Amino acid sequence: MKKNEKMMCVYLKAKKDVSMGHYICFIILALCSLTFLFSSCDAKEIPSGGKVIVNFSLSNISYNGNEIITRSFGDAEPETVVVHIEEDLYMYASLEAAPISPTRDSATNHNPGKLRIVAYLNDGISYRTHADYAVTNTGELSPIDAPLQVEPGNYKFAAYSYNNEQTSLPSPFTHEILNINPENDLLWGSASASIVSSNSNVVIKMEHKLSQLKIEATTTAGTITNISDVFAVPGYEIGKFTVHSGQITKGNSCQQLFPSWSTLNQVTVTSEARTVYPHGESITAIHIGTITINGKTHQNLNVGFAKSLQPKISYTLKINFKKDDAPAGSFAGSNIYWDGSKLTFDPAVVKDRENLQGVFFKWGSLVGLSPKQELLTTLTVYIPNYDSANPGASAWTVTNFKSAYGNQWKDHTDWLEVSVLPDDVRNTYLIDMERNTDAYYTARTGDICQYLGKIGAAPRGYRMPTAREFADVDIANPEVAAKWYPHTADVDVLDGWRYKGPVYSWVDVTTSSLANGQYKGIFGAGMYKGKTEFPASGHRHHLYGDVEKVGLAGQYWSASGHGSPSYSRMLDFDVTNGIRPHGHVASTMGATIRCIKK
């Protein structure tokens, strides 16, 4: 027994209750023994300063050559946007995606990747310490200086990668700016853990944080002799990523990321790939300050994409500047729709856009009507405000039906009610010059296709089709021409028309139709002729304005009037009866319009 223990027992024996003294002495001896045992164990596990070494392993990554991770990121659906520049010149922009591929040269770069692991208190804010690791050739972590050590407790750990090429890593403060080269990815991961001893193992799941973006500009209208002041948003320059409080955020952000370009005077010019930090962004916008094609300069062109950029993806923005070279008699590539600032249409077929639902019109009206199923009080209408002195400055009013007209469908009187004689499917009443004057346009009536071309919202040279142009059949007898021709799936019905199904993806009218007419019935019912598709967009009832038969029927106005003042000619088809290329229905029906090249 140690000296101090003997003294305690001697003191207790001096008490009157000797047996109690023995009992207390026994308890104290037991406690002293336990204290000694735990003290001995701690002395073996805790280095000087009371710290323990933390072991780390990384998940969700593999090692391939000199790369920290095998970049296999899946894919993303491309998105195409069409921008009308002027006259017949269009910009077709497609944001295409592919997995980022390794870019380091294994023959000259033999340094493995580096990771920094930072320890914060469990609040994820208070910095404690950090350690840097190299990824070995077997994919394991090897401390560069010393392994990470902390006192036992609860921690949040953050790990992130550095470039292979960096020979030394900067010292962290409460935050640091990462040095990221355009060709390098950024791996990031975090985990919370309770550290008890050096046996503790923390697994950190690593994720990609960056994307790459490059631009490829092509023209079929000559050569590109200059392209400058091009920037992308979001775009954050090299080294602008901040690690702070266990999180990674945009640092000193550069909202404009300017790429450099390959040799000019080419049909196709390509920019370098630049690093983009995509998190938290909802839109990608590309601005082209200046581009010169065949000696003609175009300025301040903008294209926006609704899809969010995703990490792990290499994006290529492909821009094709080309003229509308469709032959006369060719249908436009889409129905008329609202693009966010104006009514317009695509002159050529763009993949997955040829089946845009489109907005509705009463016959002879320039006012677009939302195809969304809703009450007239909230129905969106797109009203043109024609500027006869400067047609290119003509604006649009976007409001609701009640504010513009009233509570009933009949209150909308901006349409043409006429009796056309002779009642022939070849009559051109609505596209005649007499109906496309300043007076008609001011009254919001006329040929919508010609109107959009005149104000610069769509290419010139398009007009509404006559009834005969929908199908050249029985033109001498309009009533015979207006009969139904039954259809069979994907079989020539008449004059090149073929049926497209199935119908089920369009039937939910209340949720599927969009106010702007840009709903895509990709697998919806419809008819097509050649490569031109006419989706089953439905219509608005001629008396009440209710949306009907979306996905089941399609009604497309022609420029041809009818012998009765309350009826006009149209392409009419549905899944039950077939197709009537020269049908006649009430002119107050809300129907879609597909323009045709003059």
Ranking 152-166, 187-201, 431-445, 518-532 by mean pLDDT, the lowest is 518-532
Q: Which domain holds residue 240?
A: 79-102+210-323
* Banded pLDDT at 21 (limits 50, 70, 90): very low
Q: How far apart are CA 349 and CA 334, in angstroms?
A: 7
Instruction: Tell me what pLDDT residue 273 has.
Output: 76
Q: How far apart are CA 68 and CA 111, in angstroms?
A: 11
- Select from 592, 491, 591, 576 the least CA-distant residue to 541: 591
Does the structure show a pLDDT above 50 at 25?
A: no
Listed residues 296, 323, 350: the one ending a domain = 323
Are 391 and 318 in a shared domain?
no
Are 475 and 494 in a shared domain?
yes
Helix (H) or strand (E) segment spanning residue 395:
strand 395-400
Mean pLDDT of 514-523: 63
Does the structure show a pLDDT above 80 at 108?
A: no
Are 552 and 447 in a shared domain?
yes
3-state secondary structure of 216: strand
Q: How far apart are CA 559 and CA 364, in angstroms?
A: 8
The alpha carbon of 446 is separated from its chain's Cα centroid by a whole number of angstroms, namely 36
Q: Give the sheet arrangement for strand 153-162, strand by strand.
A: 141-143, 127-135, 114-121, 153-162, 187-195, 207-208
Are 422 and 563 in a shared domain?
yes
Percent of the chain past pLDDT 70, that is, above it, reads 67
Instruction: Tell me what pLDDT residue 79 has.
Output: 67
Between 484 and 12, the higher pLDDT residue: 484
Averaged confidence pLDDT in the chain: 75
The answer to whether the Cα torsion of 512, 514, 520, 524 is positive or negative is positive
pLDDT digit string, tens, across residues 52-102: 999 998 876 544 433 333 333 334 456 677 777 776 788 888 877 765 544
Q: How far apart are CA 330 and CA 376, in angstroms?
A: 35
Ranking 119-133, 137-151, 280-294, 507-521 by mean pLDDT, the lowest is 507-521
Mean pLDDT of 566-584: 86
What global pTM score does this model have?
Answer: 0.63
* Banded pLDDT at 347 (limits 50, 70, 90): confident
Q: Which amino acid is at 142?
A: S
Does residue 131 form part of some domain?
Answer: yes
Instruction: Tell me what pLDDT residue 213 has.
Output: 79
Q: What is the dihedral of CA 471, 476, 479, 484, to 10 degrees?
A: -30
Does the structure show a pLDDT above 70 at 48?
A: no
Does the structure show a pLDDT above 80 at 371?
A: yes
Are 84 and 112 in a shared domain?
no
Instruction: Tell me what pLDDT residue 67 has.
Output: 37
Does residue 72 form part of some domain?
Answer: no
Helix (H) or strand (E) segment spanning residue 301:
strand 296-305
CB 568 within 8 A of CB 465: no
Listed residues 191, 208, 225: the one ending a domain = 208
Rounded to 10°, the helix 18-45/3-13 angle is: 160
Listed residues 208, 224, 244: the one ending a domain = 208
pLDDT digit string, tens, across residues 397-431: 999 999 999 999 999 999 998 887 777 788 899 99
Q: How far apart are CA 454 and CA 445, in angstroms?
A: 14
The answer to whether the Cα torsion of 264, 270, 275, 280 is positive or negative is positive
